[in-house]
Amino acid sequence: MRPEALNPLFAEVQTLDGVGPKLMKPLEKLGLTRIKDLAYHLPERFVSRTAIADLDSGSEGEQVIIALTAVEHRAPRAGSRGPYRVLAQDDIGNICALTWFGKAAYAAKKLVPVGEKRWIAGRLDRYGDMLQIVHPDHIEAESAANMGRQSEPVYRLSDGLTQPRIGDFTRQALARLPELPEWIEPGQLARADWPAWRDALQLGHETTDTKAHDRLAYDELLANSLALLLVKAEGRRRKGQALAGDGGLRAKLHLPFALTGAQARSITEIAGDLAQEAPMLRLLQGDVGAGKTVVALNAMLIAVEAGKQAALLAPTEILARQHFETLRTMLAPTGVNIALLTGRAKGREREGLLMGLMDGSIQMLVGTHAIFQDTVNYRDLGLVVVDEQHRFGVAQRLALAAKGRRAPHTLAMTATPIPRSLTLAQYGEMDVSRLDELPPGRQAIDTRVVPQERMEEVVAGVERHLASGQQAYWVCPMVREIDGAPDLADIAAAEARFAALKERFGDAVALVHGQLRPEIKDAAMERFASGQARLLVATTVIEVGVDVPSATLMVIEQAERFGLAQLHQLRGRVGRGAEKSTCLLLRGGALSETGRARLALMRETQDGFRIAEEDLALRGGGELLGTRQSGEAAFRIANLEQMQKLLPIAHGDARLLMERDGGLTSPRGEAARLLLYLFERDWGVQLLRGG
């Protein structure tokens, strides 16, 4: 049960004035369902506005406040996706178009009636020969006095919400903030000269105050570090089992290649952990093609040699099947019985699998989330391997670990290189092994940057490639075009590109993206993996876990719109077979300096760890691990720059609190518990209760 002190923060937003059923949908879309969500919904930026007497006094790109009178409403033609425009004039007759796209246009008639003066606040731009203000931020009937603040917050919105609305709700939420005890160590608070928690949130919504933002980021990083340390402590507390194999099964593997030094080192580290009674909790971090599967197989064989079972958890059925086939082939000389369990297993097949796990005749299991359902029981599970760790939350991993008679050892793997300085943020509870060298003989991928104007040449090249019997990927940054979003109008959409390529190549083209139903997506992937489809058009849904050796060409459209880590992972889908592979990075015409540097680096190197470090340096801010990539460890406040600066401090303070200062039962520790709830790390508290 949550501490009573937090009750006001967890009250529903419907308790605020003005929040009715109509506004709940856009609020829910932003994840703003409780008072605390609004309190932590900090502005994306702040704008300064200039009050101008007429349009001649304003400059293009300037944020202005101006009095305008509507003279004509121009609705788009029936069935058209065009905008709704209101032509309005200033006091000396200059005309400006007030422009709305999509559903926002419905309110235009009511907001700006013809013949009546309104005070308009927004960004002054030009469309053709006419000045315009797209989606005005404020429209007031009587006076601009309350719009003339020097610095005004701009919040992230969704359809149906306006800046004034979200600003009002946020102010109401801040007024309800309770007084909470201080969880930051007094010395750290004094050294950093940070404001108190309530003051920091208030300042975060009103100014760009660095100290306030740093304090809130530190709170989030401290909560994450505490939760991860609780997981580690729970692992040590549970009774485990030492696993020491005799090497008999591993000797029968007869691998057709020599292990790299990094692989051998990682296997030794893992074997050392398995030999201890305390359950292992180790991350195997390896670049694309670094050979993580062989290392995991060695660990699983140690468990089987010790008379235990081993399970490998994959995030998708496609990846689970690929792992199963790879491991089954490698295990053939050993006689180890390996099985596959996914959601598709039904009836007698599933019953047979469950019986084999219970009686121990199945020694290794590969599968999806199905392998830790309540109905799945093991005779003696000794090791759990979790592939693509960032796709799974801590709670899911704990559910699988609870399947053993005693706490099984856990090996997590990820192919997403993360800078050393930031590994703590995602994997602070784990020991880390790094595969930082590629197996000998692996061919480099020929990476080229091609301007978008050469699109027809690229399509012709794809045609020759497919005619030669090989396969290819074509990746776009968006699923589909979005009506009423002028800023996104020029972004390549997978559905539109699929339609165009299908017209040329027919049924040889398949489409996958994250918005398809799982069974449709899996069917398309299977068509491609089996060779029935030769060209796969996709979004970044194929970023990890797709292994088709005959796919030797990767086309990434508008590559400048992707982060370096994404580009590296996408490129890693090719170069997985014996044939030479190519990656074409199609770029738009207007490249920023950062975009140019990213693409140049992709041409220069295929070292994922170097790319990750450079990505961090180039971005210098923003979110490292968004919800798409981080399971339960999303960071809402802390950006990359703050992580680099504050994470070592927060992690050190969390460790001191846990190990020296009385843990979470001390007065400051009790205050720190509140953070686990505030930043959605509730599972950390559940561990304290044995839940």
CA distance linking residue 195 with residue 660, whole number of Å: 26
Asked whether the beta carbons of 385 and 296 are under 8 A apart, the reply is yes
Asked whether the beta carbons of 209 and 47 are under 8 A apart, the reply is no
Q: In whole angstroms, what is the distance from residue 191 CA to residue 203 CA? A: 19
**Stretch(es) of the chain classified as CATH 3.40.50.300:** 243-435, 446-605
The SS3 call for residue 97 is strand
- Strands, sheet with 535-538, edge to edge from the N-terminal-most edge strand: 446-451, 582-587, 551-556, 471-475, 535-538, 509-512
At 486 the pLDDT is 41
Q: Which of 648, 645, 654, 656 is nearest to 673 (CA)?
A: 654
DSSP β-ladder status, 381-386 and 309-313: parallel
Burial of residue 185 (CB within 10 Å: 0-12, 13-18, 19+) is middle
Model pLDDT for residues 397-416, shown as the tens digit of each residue: 666 667 767 888 989 888 77
Report yes or no: 677 and 3 within 8 Å, Cβ to Cβ: yes
CA distance 266 to 290: 12
pLDDT (0 to 100) of residue 55: 94
Largest CA distance in the chain: 92
685, exposed or middle or buried, with CB in 10 Å at 0-12, 13-18, 19+? buried
The C-alpha atoms of residue 511 and residue 516 are separated, in whole angstroms, by 9
Residue 601: how many CB atoms within 10 A of its CB? Answer: 18
Please choose, from the candidates 326, 396, 240, the residue with its C-alpha nearest in 3D space to the C-alpha of residue 576: 326
Which two structure tokens, joined as six digits, stand for 609? 């760890």
Q: How far apart are CA 565 and CA 285, in angstroms?
A: 14
Do the beta carbons of residue 304 and residue 294 sit within 8 Å?
Answer: no
Query: What are the structure tokens assigned to 544, written together?
Result: 């990890």
Element (H, E) at 604: helix 593-604
The residues, any chain, with a CB within 8 Å of residue 101's CB and separated by 6 or more, are 83, 84, 134, 135, 483, 484, 485, 486
CA–CA distance, 282 with 273 (Å, rounded to integer) = 8
CA distance 365 to 634: 30
Partners of 635 in beta bridges: none
Residue 206 burial (C-beta neighbours within 10 Å; 0-12, 13-18, 19+): middle
Q: Please list the residues that pair with 556 across neighbouring strands.
A: 475, 585
Dist. CA 322–CA 346, nearest whole Å: 20
Tell me the CATH architecture of domain 1-44+164-177: Orthogonal Bundle (1.10)
The distance of Cα 51 from the centroid of its chain, to the nearest Å, equals 40
Residue 151 amino acid letter: S
**Residues contacting residue 463 through CB under 8 Å, at least 6 positions apart:** 504, 505
The architecture (CATH level 2) of 49-149 comes to: Beta Barrel (2.40)
| Nearest residue to 658 via CA among 641, 639, 676, 640 | 676
Residue 267 one-letter amino acid: I
Domain 243-435 has CATH 1.10.260.40: no
DSSP 379: S
* H or E element, residue 317: helix 317-331
Can you tell me whether residue 576 is helix, strand or coil?
Answer: coil
What pLDDT, on the 0 to 100 scale, is given for residue 684? Answer: 55
Q: What does the DSSP 8-state code read for residue 652?
A: H
Give the C-alpha distances (Å, rounded to integers) separating 431 from 150, 266, 282, 314.
Answer: 49, 11, 5, 21
Question: What is the number of alpha carbons within 13 Å of residue 310 lying toward its C-beta?
Answer: 27
Provide CATH 2.40.50.140 ranges for the chain: 49-149
The DSSP element (H or E) to which 265 belongs, if any, is helix 261-274
Q: What is the dihedral of CA 155, 158, 161, 164, to 10 degrees?
A: 10
Among residues of the chain, what percentage have pLDDT more than 90?
A: 47
Q: Which residues contact 117 (CB under 8 A, 6 or more apart)?
A: 67, 68, 69
Residue 402 identity (one-letter amino acid) = A
What's the confidence (pLDDT) of residue 622? Answer: 35
What pLDDT does residue 457 have? 95
Structure tokens at 653: 């303070």
Report whether 501 contacts 474 (CB < 8 A): yes
- Return the SS3 of 121: strand
Residues 162, 26: contact at Cβ < 8 Å?
A: no
Distance of CA 666 to the CA centre of its chain: 35
**Separation between Cα atoms, residue 245 and residue 1, nearest integer Å:** 44
Which positions of the chain have pLDDT values less than 70? Answer: 1, 104, 143-150, 389-401, 404, 420-422, 425-429, 441, 481-490, 543-545, 619-634, 682-691
Single out the residue of 220, 169, 175, 218 nearest to residue 198, CA to CA: 175
Fold of 446-605: Rossmann fold (3.40.50)
What does the pLDDT read at residue 346? 84
pLDDT in tens, 128-140: 889 999 988 888 8
CA distance 76 to 60: 25
Intervals of CATH 1.10.150 along the chain: 1-44+164-177
> What residues have CB less than 8 Å from 504, skipping those under 6 apart?
459, 463
262 CB-near residues (< 8 Å, 6+ apart): 286, 290, 434, 435, 436, 437
Taking CA atoms, 102 is separated from 75, 85, 96, 113, 156, in Å, by 11, 12, 20, 19, 17
List C-alpha distances in Å: 202 to 42, 43, 271.
10, 11, 51
